[in-house]
Amino acid sequence: MAAPRSIGTGTVAFGMVSIPIKLFSAGETSSAVSFNLLHGKCSTRLKQQYFCPKDNDIVPRDQMIKGYEFAKEQFVTFSEDEIKSMQEEAQRAIEITEFVPIEKVDPMFYDGAYFLGPDKGGERAYRLLSAAMKETGRCALAKWCARGKMYLVLIRPMQGGLVMQPLHYADEVRSIADVPMGDTDVRESELALAKQLIAQIATDEFKPQQYEDEVKKRMQAAIQRKIEGQEVTAAPEAPTAQIIDIMEALKASLAQKAAAAAPAPAAGEPAAGKKRKAG
């Protein structure tokens, strides 16, 4: 993945301290495999057009206006100037309002991430803020105005630097209490086996480099075959697993993991469960 490029500048402000920063995108969504819509007859890339079903016409952009649907098929319209007057003006300052323990912010609220780097003259204050938050175990909540919106953001220390993560507002996050979960009890015997299974494959660190997008890799390989003139065939569907008995499924999972973890016999050694024949 290419090194991140600055997508903007600003300041992180708290109290009387103002730190000039540069903003970098932390992710690379453009690396995903995407397809274009083509005309099946001649394979020409299609252009998007907007169609009015009432007048049976294609509508060019210079004839479009924006509207808000306040009731079924009822709209109130706005000009671009009216919309602009309602939006928040972009501000360079990311204004910290409070510092909270990082564990008190549920990841459910996270909505993307940006790296913050120091701009010219802000290196010392930038390092100081990162170190202070790391030492206190706290992150910063701040207000950020950009793209016509007011964002609630979280700033946290990371490997000597700072990461800014936009957060959902409270009214944008649904409650898990609304999800139907049924009414049943957890048996102690089942819980003990489940905990044993977790312990078998538990690790103390998150190592994302151990994982890769297998679907993306498979699609890239298929695309290359197509480019080379080969055919792409569908993979056979894997049988759907059905859990008949939770206890039996847990026991089978434990046995499978134990077998996979068992060391292979050395050369000349008999496999487990087999006896060496007398010579």
Tens digit of each residue's pLDDT (9 = 90 or more) over 213-255: 787 888 788 888 777 877 777 666 655 555 457 777 777 777 8
Integer Cα distance of 104 and 93 in angstroms? 25
Tens digit of each residue's pLDDT (9 = 90 or more) over 144-183: 888 778 899 999 999 999 999 999 999 998 888 888 888 8
Integer Cα distance of 242 and 224 in angstroms? 36
Tokens for 105, please give them.
């912010």
- More confident: 53 or 264: 53
pTM comes to 0.63
DSSP label of 145: E
pLDDT at 64 over 60: yes
pLDDT at 41 over 80: yes
Integer Cα distance of 151 and 138 in angstroms? 20
Amino acid at 187: R
pLDDT of residue 93: 80
pLDDT of residue 278: 46
CB atoms within 10 A of CB 39: 9
Tens digit of each residue's pLDDT (9 = 90 or more) over 66-115: 998 988 888 888 888 887 777 666 567 888 888 999 888 888 888 888 99
Question: Poorest-confidence range of 31-35, 143-147, 182-186, 263-267?
Answer: 263-267
pLDDT at 188 over 60: yes
Helix (H) or strand (E) holding 13: strand 6-14
| Domains present along the chain, CATH in parentheses | 6-27+88-172 (2.40.290.10)
Across the chain, mean pLDDT equals: 81
